[in-house]
Each structure stands twice: as C-alpha cells, then as structure tokens.
Amino acid sequence: MSLNSDLERRYEEYLAEVMEVHRARGVAVAVIDRVGRTLWQKLAGYRDAERRLAIDEDTIFGLASLTKSFTALLVTQLAERGSLSLQDPVSVHCPSFRDAGPNPVRLAHLLSHSGGYFPLPRTTLEPVAKELGLPLDGPEDPAFSDELARAGVDRVAGAMSAASERVGEPGEYMSYCNDGYGLLAEVIHRASGAGSYAACVRREVLEPLGMTRSSCEFLRPAQDANVAKLYSEAAPEGDLNFCRNAFVLMGGGAMKSTLADMKKYLRMYLNEGAIDGGGRLASARGVRAMCRPRIPTRSQQFYGYGLSISFLEDVTVIRHGGSLPGVSSHMAWSPELERGVVVLCNTEDVPVSLLADAALRLSMGLDPRPASRWRRCPWTDATLRAACGRYESGEGADVLVERDGEGVAVTNSGKVMEVLMVHPFRAVLRSGLSETEFRLHFGEDGEVWGARLGDRIVKKRS
C-alpha cells in the first residue's frame, strides 16, 4: 500500500506527541491486510530505555486485557464442539460460584461483562501465592499451577457470590468485570481437559497459528533476551516483574506476545477464523458471534464476546485493548476495510487506542489525528446538584464530583480532570490526550445511584 508521505509524517508527529505526553518508553505499531501483508509499521522508542535497546517485531510485550479475546475464542471453540453452551449457568461449570440473585448468571453474561457486578477488589497473583507458600520464581511457572488456580477460583467465585450490591440483573448493563473472565479461565480448564488455561491457549490458539513467542507464562518471558521492560508508576525505571498486579486467574490478562505473533492472530480474525493450510480456529459464524454487538457500553460503542464494536469514519471497527503495570495494548480491525492494526507499548496508561485509530485513518488516506466529535451541552442545575458526590469501586476507582460555578470539578483518584459536558447526563473527562466518558445513572426516585466511568459502572457513595 502506498501511503501519502505527508500523512505518514503527521502520524509520526502524533505518535511522538502521545509518547511525550504520556511518557511512553516504547511503542510498536503495524497495519496488516487479510492476506497478512504488512501495509505499514513503526517501531518507536526502546524496549529498555536505560540501555537504549531497540524494539523489533519479535520483542515480547504484555497484552493485559487483550487476553480476553483469546478467552472468548476458546469458549467459542468449546461451544462449537459441544463441550458447553453459552447459555449454561456459570455454576454448572464452576460449582463454587453461587448466584447472588434469582436469575442465573450465564457464560454469555460473563463474556459480555453483563453479569451485573460492580467492579470488585482484584484478586491478584502475588498475595495468593504467598498465602499458599508457592514460590513465584520457579521451578513451576504460576500459569500452570493447579494449586494456585484452585485457590484463585475459590477466592474469585466467593467474592462474586458474596457481592450484595449489584449493577442490575444479568444482561441489563455492561460493567467491565475482570473476575468474570477469571472464572471463564476455570470453565475452559474444566471443559477442555488441557490441564490449565495456559496449556489450552497454547494448544488451541498459539500452536496452530505459529505464535511461537507468545504465552501466558510469567517466568520465561521475563528471562527472554528480547523482552520489553515494564514501565509504571510502581517501577519508573522499569523491571520485568510480570507478576505485579497480575490476576490470580489467567483468563483476564495473562497473555504476552510480539508484534509478529499478533499479526498472525489479527489475520485470523480478518479471515473470520480461517488460518493457513485450510484449517480453522473457529467457524466464521462463531467469530461473527464474538463480534456481534450484544450490549451498549460507551457512546456509539458496544461489547460482544471478548471484543468491542465501534465506528470510525463510518466503518465498523472491532477492537480490544489492555492495561496493566508496564502494559498498554490495542488490537483493532475493520471488516469493511479488510485491514487491522496492532499497537503494543511497554508503559502503563498510554492511550494506545488513539494510535490504533490513527493508524487505521492513515491506511484510509485520511488525516491520522482525531477530530473532536463532542459538542458542549451544559447540564441543568438539577443535574449538577444530583451529580455531586463521591463515586467509588472495589477495584480502586475514587471519583469526586463537586460544584464549580456553572459546572463541576472532578478528581479521579486524586488527579484533577478537565471536564467537558457533552450530553444532558454525560461528560468527558480529559487527562493528557486520554478521554474517559462519565455518564450518570438515575434511579426511579430521580437520584443518581452510580455512573459509567469508561467501561465500568461505579457506585455513588455520598
């Protein structure tokens, strides 16, 4: 594909701006088509900034929540083989899970983050392993530890079963739930007979696609000679601790991969499950089912099974991203354009979705920089009064909304946000180049009971 040199220069300037504003140490971007050709690629920054070690397409990065697309694909495979039904109650496959309400939470609800849960405190790898007396430095990688998985399931299922406050009935609202994807890892473990989630994803996805440098493991990637250091607030100089803040169950965020391997994974989706040699990872119908809009999330965006559905310049874009300490990732593709993009970054909280969208615009011959789609829409005095208060979640969100003249002042976890009111009940919160939607939810009594903060609904506490 021949690119306009001026547009390519504008993309590189935008990439440099994103990296500077959000202190990204290293970024890898590639646009491919459905036959696997690399249409455009850019490697910027370093995998090790202190030693100025360059990135290449075989450098290992964390994927974080991009893992959820792998999990949804494995569940789709098992459903097509008759090992489970997406309409099965979760308790059928995970006996330690108990439904908190009268209507059962089904596998389909976990896949679409619509089980009805507010964000819960994270059950992470390091404290559970410490409690069990399990070493995290070998000889067994935590990804394959049956003891760790059993303990993780008991804790996660117990926390979800005990949740007394609910967003709504199963299927009513989408609110991002990492724990649900943790339980799906256990469902896959039980239904596949593979011994572990990590072994199943290796056998059913990575090996058929030839993704030889990808895994759910924690030790081997950290020891690799070509791995990107993880840069975060907790480790500003970077380290290789993939266990930091990692979920105890692998299905929500454990995958690590490379740009070269992720091109193979993306190509499979561009071909609706078909792979080289005439094989398939899933039927075309199964992949389309993953990509079908199931439940609304943010403005002009929906969630399917392990994938989000949105629109860019009048074309459909299927996507998912991920964020953990030292990880910002994004994969997106357009069925109409028959091309897609992967962005991998070794720094937390970098808005790499902006870089993915910019790369798709570049491939379309358009200005890669985003144009604002928001129009100012001031809130009424009644809405301003109703919005004020503190919004919190078990996952750590702490949003304070206070009256400020004709508008509101918002701090998110102590960070002052720029506020743009864009809808009678919706605002956009800006920090750097990142934007987060904040949408009020009202009860029948007219009072605000919670708000959507990005993909999560958080409870109003005061």
| Predicted confidence (pLDDT) per residue in 369-423, tens digit | 998 889 999 999 999 999 999 999 999 999 999 999 999 999 999 999 999 999 9
Task: Identify any residues that bridge with 418 across adjacent strands, giving them in sequence order.
Answer: 430
**Residue numbers of the domain that contains 429:** 381-460
Same domain, 214 and 333: yes
Q: 130-149, pLDDT tens digit by residue? A: 999 999 998 999 999 999 99
**Does some domain include residue 222?**
yes
| Alpha helix ranges (H) inside 35-117 | 67-80, 90-93, 107-111
Residues 80 and 218 in one domain: yes
Residue 107 lies in a domain: yes
The sign one gets for the Cα dihedral 184, 188, 189, 190 is: positive
pLDDT for the residue numbered 240 = 97
My answer on whether 87 and 147 are in the same domain is yes
Is the pLDDT at 431 greater than 80? The verdict is: yes
Residue 7 lies in a domain: no
Structure tokens at 444: 């029948």
**What pLDDT, in 10s, does the model give residues 158-187?**
999 999 899 999 999 999 999 999 999 999
345 and 394 in a single domain? The answer is: no
Domain limit, last residue, from 305, 334, 363: 363
**pLDDT score of 373:** 85
User: Helix, strand, or coil here: 211?
Assistant: coil
Q: Which two tokens stand for residue 147?
A: 């003891």
- 298 and 159 inside one domain: yes
Mean model confidence pLDDT for the chain = 97
Sheet holding 38-48, edge to edge: 53-54, 38-48, 26-33, 339-345, 327-334, 315-324, 308-312, 302-303, 295-296
pLDDT computed for residue 294 by the predictor: 98
Last residue of a domain, which of 363, 396, 412?
Answer: 363
| Pair (359, 387) in one structural domain | no
User: Phi, psi at residue 271, to the nearest 5°?
Assistant: -105, 20
Tens of pLDDT, residues 220-271: 999 999 999 999 999 999 999 999 999 999 999 999 999 999 999 999 999 9
**290 and 390 housed in the same domain:** no
Core vs surface per residue 177-203: b (16+ CB within 10 A) or e: bbbbbbbbbbbbbbbbebebbbbbbbe
DSSP E strand stretches across 209-255: none
Task: Kindly state whether residue 39 falls inside one of the protein's structural domains.
Answer: no
Same structural domain, 318 and 429: no
Alpha-helical regions (H) of 193-336: 197-201, 207-209, 219-223, 259-270, 284-290
277 domain-assigned? yes
Query: Is residue 101 scored above 80 in pLDDT?
Result: no
Q: What is the CATH number of the domain that holds 286?
A: 3.40.710.10
pLDDT at 1 over 70: no
Residues 101 and 127 in one domain: yes
Element (H, E) at 42: strand 38-48
Q: Which of 363, 389, 407 is the last residue of a domain?
A: 363
Q: What is the pLDDT of residue 250?
A: 98
Residue 115, class by beta-carbon neighbours within 10 Å (0-12 exposed, 13-18 middle, 19+ buried)?
buried
Alpha-carbon span 307 to 65, nearest angstrom: 10
**Residue 4 domain flag:** no
Same domain, residue pair 330 and 389: no
With 90 as the cut, is the pLDDT of residue 102 above it? no
Number of domains in the chain: 2
Write the DSSP symbol of residue 297. -
Structure tokens at 170: 């199963």
pLDDT of residue 175: 98
- 112 and 253: one domain? yes
Q: Is residue 3's pLDDT more than 80?
A: no
- Give the separation between CA 237 and CA 343, rounded to whole angstroms: 22
The residues near 370 (Cβ < 8 Å, ≥ 6 apart) are 354, 357, 358, 361
- Confidence label for 364 from pLDDT (cuts 50, 70 and 90): very high
Report pLDDT digits (tens) over 104-136.
Answer: 999 999 999 999 999 999 999 999 999 999 999
Determine the pLDDT at residue 138. 85
Q: Kindly tell me if the per-residue pLDDT of 4 is higher than 90.
A: no
- CATH number assigned to the domain comprising residue 406: 2.40.128.50
Q: Mind giving me the DSSP string for 114-144?
A: -S-BPPPPP-BHHHHHHHHT--SSSSS-GGG
Residue closest to 152 by CA, chosen among 116, 119, 112, 125: 125
Give the phi and the psi of residue 429 in degrees, each rounded to 5: -100, 125
Contact indicator for 154, 223 with CB cutoff of 8 Å: no
Q: How far is 59 from 81, CA to CA, in rounded Å?
A: 35
The confidence score (pLDDT) of residue 100 equals 67
Report residue 445's pLDDT band, with 50, 70 and 90 as the boundaries: very high
In this structure, the chain runs to a length of: 462
Indicate whether 160 belongs to any domain: yes
Residue 218, token pair as written in the block: 């924690």
> Which two structure tokens, joined as six digits, stand for 90?
């979760």
In a domain, 308, yes or no: yes
Position 339 scores a pLDDT of 98
Number of Cβ atoms within 10 Å of the Cβ of 95? 11
Rounded mean pLDDT of 53-71? 99
Residue 354's pLDDT band (cuts 50, 70, 90): very high
**234 and 293 assigned to the same domain:** yes
